[in-house]
């Protein structure tokens, strides 16, 4: 199907602005440009209380923001969320409205993580920070009034990559126990050879050249098939937590997300893969402007709420 008309209006506005592509900018300038775009496309979030805290990470303090929805259970289910931005751009602030809305719609406490960015701190710095934050949530569940048995990880784009990698490391290292993974148009490969990279190389917000720029900064000298940098190359996906994988029709990352979902299912992991036709990368963050983005956000919220329900977790255990 064609690009959704609401999305096309946004793409036309971006084209008319004639802003330079992010991959032609320095990381610092790209961060500033993305921060401005994030405010323009999301507006404000729904009501939820927030608290800024600091976690001890492997190389220093890791800021986190805790979003607690009104009327949340005590102890509440919790999702540790990793923002997108190609490991180079993005922050707690760029995803503040999204996390606020996700908490409000799901009834789940969201803990957003300000991990280190590349190229200043390439792989595995971001992953190490995200795992440290996830372990901190589990270890401090009582103080946070959350239930460590009902702990999920999630993220969009590069954050989906980090969520998938945290789930693998947590399985391999024996802790923390993760009940669910929410992977929203995740980066799962660095090969750039899927058909969706050719079909959607440019013109749909995220470009193939942009992804090559992001990946080169993140990987540094790491192999593009390193399993924790590219979870699609992980040799064993058995024993991972159930997953929801969202993809977008006009997204270079579409095929790798769907391939990972298929591999999870083949490994016996309960997995739902949902493609949103007519959508582009980042559409869930456009929920205030695009109807399908709001539907995608609702699907994420419903999946978290159902997967982290007390009875659902008890059945799986």
Catalytic residue among 83, 190, 217, 281: 281
Q: How far apart are CA 90 and CA 190, in angstroms?
A: 20
Model pTM score: 0.97
Q: How far is CA 74 from CA 107, 141, 144, in A?
A: 11, 11, 9
Q: What three-state secondary structure class fits 95?
A: coil
> In this structure, what are the phi and psi dihedrals at residue 108, rounded to the nearest 5 degrees?
-105, 140
The 8-class DSSP code of residue 73 comes to: -
- Alpha carbon 145 to its chain's center: 24
Q: For the chain (length 317 residues), average pLDDT per consecutive 10?
A: 96 92 95 88 66 96 97 92 98 96 97 98 98 98 98 98 99 98 98 97 96 98 98 98 98 98 98 98 96 98 96 68
Q: How far apart are CA 6 and CA 287, in angstroms?
A: 11
How big is the CA angle at 80 (ends 75 and 86), to the nearest 5 degrees? 170
Catalytic residue among 4, 129, 147, 251: 251
User: Encoding tokens for residue 161?
Assistant: 């990559």
User: Encoding tokens for residue 136?
Assistant: 């901190």
- Could you give the maximum distance between any two Cα atoms of the chain, in Å? 53
Q: How far is CA 240 from CA 67, 127, 237, 265, 280, in A?
A: 26, 17, 6, 10, 28
Q: What is the pLDDT of residues 214-273, one digit of tens each?
A: 999 999 999 999 999 999 999 999 999 999 999 999 999 999 999 999 999 999 999 999
Q: Identify the pLDDT of residue 45.
A: 53
User: Encoding tokens for residue 258?
Assistant: 């769907």
Q: How far is CA 12 from CA 15, 205, 228, 302, in A?
A: 5, 10, 36, 32
Catalytic residue among 91, 157, 196, 285: 157
Q: Is 49 a catalytic residue?
A: no
What are the boundaries of each domain within the chain?
5-316
Q: How far apart are CA 164 and CA 123, in angstroms?
A: 15
Q: What is the pLDDT of residues 132-164, one digit of tens each?
A: 999 999 999 999 999 999 999 999 999 999 999
CB of 104 closer than 8 Å to CB of 76: no
CB of 253 closer than 8 Å to CB of 196: yes
Q: Is 157 a catalytic residue?
A: yes
Name the CATH topology of 5-316. Rossmann fold (3.40.50)
How big is the CA angle at 70 (ends 143 and 97), to the nearest 5 degrees? 95
Q: How far apart are CA 17 and CA 146, in angstroms?
A: 44
Q: Is 217 a catalytic residue?
A: no
Of 182, 156, 157, nearest to 167 (Cα)?
182
Q: Identify the pLDDT of residue 317.
A: 60
Q: Which residues pair with 152 in a beta bridge?
A: 79, 180
Q: Identify the pLDDT of residue 71.
A: 86
Q: How far apart are CA 154 and CA 163, in angstroms?
A: 5
The CB-side HSE value for 288 (13 A sphere, CA atoms) comes to 15
């Amino acid at each position: 199907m064609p690009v959704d008309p609401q999305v096309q209006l946004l793409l036309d506005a971006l084209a008319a602005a004639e802003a330079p592509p992010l991959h032609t900018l320095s990381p610092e300038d790209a961060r500033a440009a993305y921060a401005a775009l994030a405010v323009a496309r999301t507006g404000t979030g729904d009501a939820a209380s927030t608290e800024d805290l600091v976690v001890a990470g492997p190389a220093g303090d890791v800021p986190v923001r805790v979003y607690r929805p009104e009327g949340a259970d005590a102890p509440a289910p919790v999702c540790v969320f990793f923002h997108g931005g190609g490991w180079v751009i993005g922050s707690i602030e760029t995803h503040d409205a999204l996390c606020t809305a996700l908490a409000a719609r799901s009834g789940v406490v969201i803990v957003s993580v300000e991990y280190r960015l590349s190229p200043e701190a390439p792989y595995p710095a971001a992953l190490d920070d995200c795992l440290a934050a996830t372990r901190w949530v589990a270890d401090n569940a009582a103080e946070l009034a959350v239930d460590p048995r009902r702990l999920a990880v999630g993220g969009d784009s590069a954050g989906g990559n980090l969520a998938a990698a945290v789930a693998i490391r947590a399985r391999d290292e024996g802790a923390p126990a993760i009940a669910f993974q929410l992977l929203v148009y995740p980066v799962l490969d660095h090969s750039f050879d899927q058909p969706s990279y050719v079909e959607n190389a440019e013109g749909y917000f995220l470009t193939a050249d942009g992804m090559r720029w992001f990946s080169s900064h993140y990987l540094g000298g790491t192999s593009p098939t390193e399993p924790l940098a590219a979870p699609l190359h992980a040799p064993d996906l058995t024993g991972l937590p159930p997953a929801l994988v969202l993809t977008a029709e006009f997204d270079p990352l579409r095929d790798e997300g769907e391939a990972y979902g298929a591999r999870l299912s083949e490994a016996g992991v309960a997995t739902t893969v949902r493609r949103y036709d007519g959508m582009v990368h980042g559409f869930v963050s456009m929920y205030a402007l695009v109807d399908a983005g709001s539907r995608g956000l609702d699907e994420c919220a419903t999946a978290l709420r159902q997967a982290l329900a007390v009875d659902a977790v008890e059945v799986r255990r």
